Structure 1
Amino acid sequence: MADRKTDTSPLMEKIPSDLLAPEQVARWHHAGERSTYRFLRNPLDLKELNKQKRCFAVWSDNGTLTYVVPRNSYDLAENYHLSLHYDDGPTLYIFGLLQDAVARTAEFFLGLEKKKRADSEFSIEGRGTSALNFRALSSMCFTQLFTAAPKRSIRLENIRLSIQQATILASRPHPISLRLEYCEFEDGGVAFIETLENRKTSFGSLFLDESVPFDDENLKRFLQIDTIEFLSLPHLKNKIAFLPFSTKAGHLRYQIVPSLLLNAASLNLVTEKLDLTIEETEDEEIESFPKDPVLSFLRRLAEFNHLVEFKIRFDFLDCDSKIPKSVVKELIRVVNTHPNMKVLDLSIYDDDLEWDRHVQTLFDGIKNHKGLRTVILNVDEAAFGPRHQYDYSYLQELLTNNRYIEVMNDNRERYWGDETIRKLYRLNHFYRGSLSLSTDPSPERQVYVAKALLGSALKSFQRSALLLSDHADILFELLQLAPQDELSEQEGTSPSPAIQRRKRKRETAHGGSVKTGSGAHS
């Protein structure tokens, strides 16, 4: 019998069309009806499926039909109940009338995966009006998914998870990235929450898209878990809409409709990193900027002082008005009442309201913040100067007043502007490096300062002055180490008699001669 790892016998055979039952006929979205095959042996791994030159469909004895789309191929099944997506192929669409059979077939293909790159992506998507019951799938399949790629991102959509499966997902020994969309837990999420409560290390990132798989009481319990680094939540109904702000997760991404913000006085903010989108929904369309609710929210936010990162977006598709100046001023107050804030993110997406007209007000309001390091904006660079003339004067003033701030776009790329801005960034970088070095007790500090004085600061008065101001003690040490006779000669003065005697003694010891006055001595 051939070694399974090297088996080169035929993988599959075509089922004669006249023997196909209606449910065995492969119907592709683009290619139409095509042949159906059966495996003659188990595939070696997913790579063997990827090596096939075209899409194919395989019938299994349990009554399921699997459509296989290898890497670099494209099509999709006309009808299916579950799909498996590997970021580097293949994609599998499984059709079957029995949910348990569909889950078993998925388990078979999941078992074909071998070691992959650690940060790969994978998704399982159920198709239908209700969540696909995945109970028949062995919980060990989820263990295998992370064994093959420990840091991979996993997305589950429209799946009903068993208690064992939920426990496996919540108990990985390393941080993971898990996205649940329209998913359900067999027990309402109790086992998932209890496992997370007992964790001692970080869970990683959890994205709950479109719906939350917990009832209100379990959601309150879930939000008290402090081992989630990043948590993303969708809109929540009125009476629990403020609960997410009290999460102990390190970073919260949340969406909320503006009308709920009028009651922001009861909001309790715990998280240190907040990413908030204020947006309209089908039930609440926005025609003009909801100034009062937004101001109410920002004023409540200004009563706290512990935010480290803050991102806010206004996503109003049909809103004709702009962001009011009063909202910008209240936002500035929020930034300044949070002294440890390092990142202010005002980046926008397609239809978000823009910040261009408020750049000067914003920069002037935050320029003295001691902790702020990064401001993220998506604006036309003409917004950095008056009358949109690309003179960058607003940006120049900000960078001159605060040498720690960097202004970036949403790709985390600096706005470099003109040569003046580039020089400012370089000077500020030098300034921060010099200041951080002044607190460095390492013995190499003297060497670094000397190299800087003779290198990047040699022809710059500003940089030399910064170094000498920050490192006066090092300058004193360098002067102490320098030979006094060399310093005298460099200054153009005659060495003292004592220095002349020391110099003659040194050079005589080395067989040399020294000239003094008009005479010579050997």
Structure 2
Amino acid sequence: MSSSWFQWMPPEALDDDQSTLMTQLAATKWSSKIQFYRKLRSPRSVEDLLKFTKANHLVWMKSDSFIVLKKLPKSVPFFSKFRKAGASIDFEQKTVHVYGTSEKAVMKTLIRLLCLEDGRVAEVRLGDHFSPAVDPLVPTKFLGPGFLQKYIEANPQRRLVFGRGCYLSKNQSMRLASHPNPLNVGIECLFEDGGRAFLDTLSQRTTSFGTLASHSPCFDSSYDNYSSTKVFLEVMSHVSNISLELSKCIMDHSRVLLPLSAKAQRVEYRICCVSGFDSIGALTISPEAVVVIFDDHAPAPFHTEFLRASGNLREMGLIYDASRPPSEAQRSELLSAISSNQNLHRLELGCFFALEDFWHELLETIWSHGSLRRVVFWLREDSIPLYQMETLLVYLDKYDHIDLIIKCRNASRDVENMMNDFIEPFRLENRARVLTREPDPTRPAVVGAALVDWAGGEFDKTYHLLSANTDLLCSLIDLPAPQRRGKRQRDELY
């Protein structure tokens, strides 16, 4: 274990408090196998943190705090010195528990772990594994501009979710809501004042907060007056400079259509069950961008009325479950809605396998659209749709006016990387052409700006940008432009 960030502690190296903890752990069958280790260096990343850490490891970060992969057993008394403060961090099902002699000791460890680089997961959850009867609340006094900025710099794409063990004070709520840079935050926690300070601060913003998400309700009766669910519903009704992501499960049946009337700039709405959508009348959609994700079959009345009301959406998305594709009538509704909305700029569709039965017709509708400039296809299965990708690359090779993005949910990192490897050369070449498609007098300046602002020294971008403008480069050094061979040859990819 020479490359590990921690090393084994022999029994003679333990102090009195650590020896007492070892004795308490030995009283329970599973924890009797726990061995003590001490930190040699700080872990370099989340991958480094978890790579060597096993279920029977307890790693001392300092003499006053440690991490372990399971909660302490009941054989460690609740009045124990090392139970005075605690928290859990869930790195997408890989949970680390932090214990310490004080909130300050635990917070120092939390800050270090949360700010480790993590290219593996889309979100990290703080205080999710929490039992109100036995666990201390997660210390969140560290929540402020300094921590948030450090977190964003380390993991700009990863969401930070405040789980049920977090209790945000008025000051912490205000610091979170007023952070100057866009955030990606989930709230499934408690608020000291029922979220009033958080809501008021959000309402006063003149710039976008970023993304606020809530996918899990709080069921404890003690949460009724302070729950983040009530705060989220208030945000939907009153805050405009924000993007929202939510699940239908946080609302009762009478409110299932509330997200469509939210004041938010963008709403991503996950419908996890179809109850409450049986009798839907005409809809009015307020946000300019709405993406609906179906975890079950798409309820016919809602599907029909949503697409009828989608005519003014600038961004629209319908993501179907791979095992419950849209019916023939729903496919027709979708194609018609895409064609008729000439205000549509961005379209999100999926899952790939749910679109297979009308794939060619769908691609024709998309690439013949007058205003569409970006299309996002979702992959929600851990396999590559090879036939659909092959036909998709043909369109990318033929047309350059639409930028294509693949968004993987539930797919492995290897599958996501392979999908992006397929499309990235086409995206870069098309982007280079679009960026520099200017009349001759201004084209040199445009190419120069693209080299600095877009390529920024990256080899692949620079290569495609120069390749797309070979004729311009030759004219600048008084050489004849090379003959173009017509359409690009990509046969080797198929």
Counterpart position of 1:270: 286
Letter in 2 for 1:238: H
TM-score normalised by the chain length of structure 1: 0.60
What displacement does 1:312 show? Answer: 1.5
Which of 71, 76, 101 pairs up with 2:70?
A: 76
Alignment of 1:325 onto 2:328: yes
Where does structure 2 lack aligned partners over 5 or more consecutive residues?
Answer: 1-9, 75-82, 219-226, 408-415, 449-468, 488-494
Q: 1:295 and 2:304 equivalent? A: yes
1:331 Cα deviation from its structure 2 partner? 0.9
* Separation in structure 2 between the aligned mates of residue 270 and residue 15 of structure 1, nearest angstrom: 62
Task: Specify the alignment match of 1:515 in structure 2.
Answer: none
Using the size of structure 2 for normalisation, the TM-score is 0.62
Q: Distance in 1 between matches of 2:427 and 2:171?
A: 54
Deviation at 1:185, TM superposition (A): 1.6
Partner Cα separation in structure 1 for residue 473 and residue 19 of structure 2: 83
The corresponding residue for 2:261 is 246
Root mean square deviation, CA, Å: 5.2
Task: Measure how far apart 1:438 and its partner are.
Answer: 2.4
* Aligned ranges 1:116-515 → 2 under 5 Å: 123-130=125-132, 137=139, 139-143=141-145, 145-146=147-148, 148-151=150-153, 152=155, 153-161=159-167, 162-181=169-188, 183-211=189-217, 213-214=227-228, 219-228=233-242, 230-235=243-248, 236-256=251-271, 257-280=273-296, 290-301=299-310, 304-308=311-315, 310-315=316-321, 319=324, 322-348=325-351, 354-377=354-377, 380-383=385-388, 392=391, 396=394, 403-405=400-402, 409-410=406-407, 411=416, 413=420, 432=434, 436-438=437-439, 441=442, 444=445, 450-451=472-473, 458-460=482-484
Equivalent AA in structure 2 for residue 460 of structure 1? R
Q: How many residues align?
A: 403
C-alpha distance after superposition, 1:424-463 (max 9, x if no partner): 99997787466x3129746758996654789896323758
Q: In the TM superposition, what whole-angstrom CA distance separates every residue of 1:5-36 from its partner, at most 9, and x where no partner exists?
A: xxxxx9x9525699737994368996634467
Whole-angstrom CA distance in 1 between matches of 2:362 and 2:313 = 20
User: What displacement does 1:246 show?
Assistant: 2.7
Q: Please tell me whether the aligned partners of residues 181 and 209 of structure 2 are also in contact (alpha carbons under 8 angstroms).
A: yes
| Percent identity over paired residues | 18
Distance 1:452 1:342 in 2: 36
Runs of at least 5 residues in structure 1 that lack an aligned partner in the other structure: 1-9, 70-74, 281-285, 385-389, 417-421, 464-522
Q: What is the one-letter code of the residue matched to 2:262?
A: T
Moved more, 326-335 or 25-34: 25-34
Aligned partners of 1:107 and 1:446: how far apart in 2? 49
2: CA distance, partners of 1:192 / 1:311: 29
**Distance in 1 between the 2:246 and 2:402 partners?**
30
* CA deviation after TM superposition for structure 1 residue 369, in Å: 0.8
Structure 1 residues 150, 336: closer, same or farther in 2, change over 3 A? same
Quickly say closer, same or farther: Cα 1:25–1:66, change in 2 above 3 A. Answer: farther
How far apart are the structure 2 equivalents of 1:329 and 1:149? 45
Contact 2:195 2:231 in 1 (8 A): no
What letter is aligned with 1:239?
Answer: S
Partner of 1:107: 107
Q: Match of 2:186, SS?
A: strand
Residue type at the aligned position of 1:405: I
Larger deviation: 183-192 or 132-141? 132-141
Deviation at 1:221, TM superposition (A): 4.5
> CA separation in 1, counterparts of 2:301 and 2:13?
68
Which is greater in Rg? 1
Return 252-261 or 373-382, whichever deviates more: 373-382
Matched residue, 1:478: none
AA of the residue aligned to 2:313: H
